[in-house]
Amino acid sequence: MNLDSQKIVAFVDGSVYSESVCHHAAWIAQRTESPVELIHVLGRREGPATADRSGAIRLGARTALLEELADLDAQRAKLINSRGRAILEDARAILDQDGVNEISTRLRQGDIIEAVSEVESTARVIIVGKRGEAADFAKGHLGSNLERIVRAAQKPVFVASRAMQPINKVLVAYDGGASAMKAVNHIARSTLFAGLHIHVVTVGNETAEVKKGLDDAKAMLKAAGLDVETSVLPGQPEKALSELVETEGYDMLVMGAYGHSRIRTLVIGSTTTAMIRACKVPVVLMR
């Protein structure tokens, strides 16, 4: 399937990261000429109350009280749906201002993982907000479910940083595993990375196998007309990569979600969220 014929799926939850999600979606849309679908998921707890409250009504209570409770449930459900639609309308307005022409919106109730599974067959990338330290964002279900989304998604997951910044330099964490090779292939094929500087990095010891892997990755990216360099860094992946992003001014980190080295435990283990938080730039995770 042509990468650039697929849509960009952006999940917005009304948190402080939603605006950044929209701006990043617009950036990807403009570079790939792809449509954007905005989705807001109403968690099951946010839906209409289904509990039977009649048990709380004591003998002799008026029927009107039961009717009033039912009306309150209906009003609550209406308000929650109205809020969801307002979030989507605000998100659409941001994309429209950023010059995106093809925008669709969807209000969905249920579990966000079910929503991801439902839409990703036609998605080129799934965009979610990075969970931050802000108290208001701690309430957002996207933040609490970020690792669940990364584990469940089959398509690339773009984790947006708190604010949109120009993206010119891309750091690629490469461990020679299947996910890392897929990430390099994706970069080579996608118009998203055209004109950007790509730095492919392996963290660990420089062995003959590591050098060959980096040479192969460099050759593939150069054949696609990309500006690319490679290097090997000592140390632990999470520390080395986050420090490189910070000191060298990289604007985005791309890494495979599965591998056969320490980067594997980094991405699918308990340090996933810590790594994403450590890098103050968008992180793209590839399966």
Going from N- to C-terminal start, the domains of the chain cover 3-46+81-160, 169-286
Q: Residue 144 forms beta bridges with which residues?
A: none
Worst-scoring range by mean pLDDT, 23-32, 68-77, 203-212?
68-77
For residue 110, pLDDT over 70 is answered with yes
pLDDT band at 135 (very low <50, low <70, confident <90, very high): very low
In CATH, the architecture of 3-46+81-160 is 3-Layer(aba) Sandwich (3.40)
Q: To which H or E segment does residue 87 belong? A: helix 63-97
pTM score = 0.83
Residue type, 208: A
Residue 274: what pLDDT?
58
Domains 3-46+81-160 and 169-286 share a fold: yes
258 vs 265: CA distance, rounded Å: 8
For residue 46, pLDDT over 80 is answered with no
Q: Long-range contacts: 23-28, Cβ < 8 Å, 24+?
A: 23/94, 23/98, 23/164, 24/127, 24/158, 24/160, 24/164, 24/282, 25/95, 25/100, 25/127, 26/94, 26/95, 26/98, 26/99, 26/100, 27/98, 27/164, 27/167, 28/125, 28/127, 28/158, 28/192
Which of residues 19 and 16 earns the better pLDDT score? Answer: 19
Residue 154: what pLDDT?
87
pLDDT band at 87 (very low <50, low <70, confident <90, very high): very high
Residue 275: what pLDDT?
64
Q: What is the CATH number of domain 169-286?
A: 3.40.50.620
Which of residues 5 and 179 earns the better pLDDT score? Answer: 179
Tens-place pLDDT, residues 246-287: 999 999 999 876 544 444 444 444 435 556 777 889 999 887
Cα–Cα distances (Å) from 62 to 56, 58, 192, in that order, read 12, 9, 64
Residue type, 84: G
CA dihedral sign of residues 211, 252, 104, 11: positive
Residue 242: what pLDDT?
87
225 secondary structure, DSSP code: T
Tens-place pLDDT, residues 204-240: 888 899 999 999 999 999 999 999 999 999 988 778 8
253 vs 172: CA distance, rounded Å: 6
89 secondary structure, DSSP code: H
Residue 40: what pLDDT?
95
Average pLDDT, the chain: 82
pLDDT band at 146 (very low <50, low <70, confident <90, very high): confident
